[in-house]
Amino acid sequence: MKGFDNHPYIPNSAPEIQAEMLREIGLTSLEELHKNVPDALKLKDTMHLPKAFGSEYELRRHVEGLLGKNTDCKKNLNFLGAGCWQHYVPALCDEVNSRGEFLTGYGGEPYNELGRFQSLFEYASMVAELVDMEVVNVPTMDWAQAAATTARMAQRITGRTEVIVPELIDPEKFAIMDNYCRASVRFIRVKCNDKGQIDLDDLKSKINSNTAGVYFENPGYLGVIEEHGQEISDLVHAAGGLSLVGVDPISLGVLATPPSYGADIVCGDLQPLGIHMNYGGGQSGFMATRDEEKFVMEFPSRLFGIAPTSQPGEYGFGDVAYDRTSFGHHREHGKEYVGTQSALWGITAGVYLATMGPKGMEEVGETILRNAQYAAKRLAELPGLRVNGFGSCFFKEFVVDFSGTGKTVAEINQALLAQGIFGGKDLSDEFPQFGQSALYCVTEIHTQDDIERLVSAVAQATR
């Protein structure tokens, strides 16, 4: 078979150099490499892949051509959320996370990647303040993974097997949690009342001596703020279990922190904090606890700690309780497993929080609340629409029920799309009990004009 000589990504693909290197190791051809791979397993033909582009320019033209078939949330007016949210990404976030050093660092030591350790320590420090906890992990995959690990941590800490979750949880998130936890945690679904919040009577009937924890979210999947966090925490604590709370971190400049209503473990997604949506690739999960050994020792993730060095006045960093992890000496007997997850998004979230500062976080929360409330109010003026039927307070997402218009969400969203508007997520498959409902997301990126444009387009589409 023939290789591609003199390729710009492969310096030693130059035939003269290859010949020289082969000679040095006593071989005469590339075919003599791979001598331990039996001939029967070797491919006889070149793989059937498209021929390489002849230049970087042609490659760029081709890929840009493909990307030109997309249209995105910048060119359109977007109201989709549901686990991935459009917020403003400060220029600094992209500037820092596209630095080649951060982009191409990996698993080195503090001696060659101190900047990675320090920036992740700082990210953890700032998220800890945001959620009012003390310990925060180097980020995991996404909120779903963080919630799954939170459930497993609760199982290990309490030695119990049941974790209670609300019925109005994101079904895809629940599927991830269930796949990950099935071998050791049994999830019990608790009913939600007509306010979209946990039904406390049903919860009481489900909490018992097997309960490792109750997991709930603020705001919940359908945008609702759970008002009874303290009662939920008290109930589960009284039974010897843990209070587990998922949060949207961008809400915490204005919303009460989970520990203020009794949370023992907090988790959530960093994507709102300066990370582009990336077609769902911007998700990044975190967990947070108090600084108690029984919690710290159950994290599966790496935890970077600050340490002195042999030089006075110098900061060093290292791995806290490394042998907890599957990278430590106990491998599969460590806590769950660890590997490549989403560290660059952790660094980015740190840049975001440092840029926003306390004032910025407070203001962005306030703007989101106002814009979302305004959008809900204006939409509610349209005939046939039932907006936020739960009647609960919400943060940035709310449910709009179009059943009264005689139109389906799919029809309405198609009509909106024709006007360059991405309508809310269609909930009619996931939650048929809510009829033709959609989950709308409004944030600080939306102007009043944007909202008015949505309202008139919806009016037209539902007429």
Partner 1 sequence: MSIVNRIDRSAKVRAHFHQAKWDEPVIYELSTPGERGILVPQASEEVSSQVEGTGALPAGMKRKNRVNLPELSQNRVLRHYLRLSQQVLGADVNIEIGQGTCTMKYSPKVNEQLARGVQELHPLQDPSTVQGMLEIYYQTDKYMCEISGMDRFTFQPGGGSQGILAMASVIRAYFESRGEQRDEIITTLYSHPSDAAAPVMNGFKVVYLQPDPTTGLPSMETLKAAVSERTAAYIVANPEDTGVYNGQVQAFTSYVHEHGGLCAYDQANANGLLGVTRAREAGFDLCFFNLHKTFSSPHGCGGPACGATGVSKELVQFLPAPLVGFDGERYFLDYAFANKEFGVGKIRSFYGVAPVVLRAYAWIRSLGGEGLYQVAKTAVLNNNYLFQKMLEIPGIDAYYRDGNNQRVEQARYTMEKVYEETGVSTGDIQRRAMDFGLHYWTSHHPYYLPEPITLEPTETPSKADIDEYVETMKYIFKECHENPEVVKTAPHRSTVHQIDESGMDDPAKWAVTWKMYLKKYQ
Shortest Cβ distance from residue 153 to partner 1 (Å)? Answer: 13
Comparison of 159 and 313: residue with beta carbon closer to partner 1: 313
Shortest Cβ distance from residue 238 to partner 1 (Å)? Answer: 19
- Which of these segments, 113-121, 209-217, 233-241, 383-391, binds partner 1 (CB under 8 A)? 113-121
Query: What CA–CA distance (Å, rounded) separates 234 from 261?
Result: 9
Residues 35-94 touching partner 1, rule: CB under 8 A, are: 35-38, 40-43, 46-53, 56, 59-60, 62-74, 76, 78, 80, 82-84, 86, 88, 90, 92
Residues 395-414: x where in contact with partner 1 by CB under 8 A, - otherwise, as a string: ------------------xx
Comparison of 206 and 219: residue with beta carbon closer to partner 1: 219
Q: Which of 28, 106, 159, 383 binds partner 1 (CB under 8 A)?
A: 106
Residues 123-182 touching partner 1, rule: CB under 8 A, are: 124-126, 128-130, 134-136, 138-139, 141-145, 172-173, 175-176, 178-180, 182
Does residue number 436 form part of the binding site for partner 1 (CB under 8 A)?
A: no
Among 124, 175, 188, 184, smallest CA distance to 147 is for 175
Judge whether 188 and 206 are in contact, CB under 8 Å.
Answer: yes
Residues 354-383 touching partner 1, rule: CB under 8 A, are: 354-367, 369-371, 373-374, 377
Query: What CA–CA distance (Å, rounded) separates 449 from 442?
Result: 13
Provide the phi-psi class of 352: left if phi over 0, else alpha when psi is between -120 and 50, else beta.
alpha
Residues 224-263 touching partner 1, rule: CB under 8 A, are: 225, 227, 229-230, 252-257, 260-261
Does residue number 459 form part of the binding site for partner 1 (CB under 8 A)?
A: no
Residues 275-304 touching partner 1, rule: CB under 8 A, are: 276-284, 291, 293, 296, 303-304
Put the strands of the sheet holding 242-247 in their side by side order: 135-136, 285-289, 265-269, 242-247, 211-218, 162-166, 186-190
Judge whether 21 and 10 are in contact, CB under 8 Å.
Answer: no
Shortest Cβ distance from residue 388 to partner 1 (Å)? Answer: 11
Does residue number 28 form part of the binding site for partner 1 (CB under 8 A)?
A: no
Judge whether 392 and 214 are in contact, CB under 8 Å.
Answer: no
- Which of these segments, 203-211, 318-326, 400-408, 453-461, binds partner 1 (CB under 8 A)? 318-326
Which amino acid appears at position 57 of this protein? Y
Number of residues that bind partner 1 (CB under 8 A): 210
Judge whether 176 and 144 are in contact, CB under 8 Å.
Answer: yes
Write out the two tokens for 117.
Answer: 């350790």
Comparison of 3 and 205: residue with beta carbon closer to partner 1: 3
Angle at 175 between CA 269 and CA 439, to 5 degrees: 60
For residue 315, give Cα distances in angstroms to 115, 119, 129, 263, 307. Answer: 11, 12, 21, 32, 6
Does residue number 22 form part of the binding site for partner 1 (CB under 8 A)?
A: yes
- Name the phi and psi angles at 91, rounded to 5: -55, -35
Does residue number 187 form part of the binding site for partner 1 (CB under 8 A)?
A: no
Q: Which of 316, 389, 404, 435 binds partner 1 (CB under 8 A)?
A: 316
Query: What CA–CA distance (Å, rounded) separates 200 from 191?
Result: 9
CB atoms within 10 A of CB 213: 27
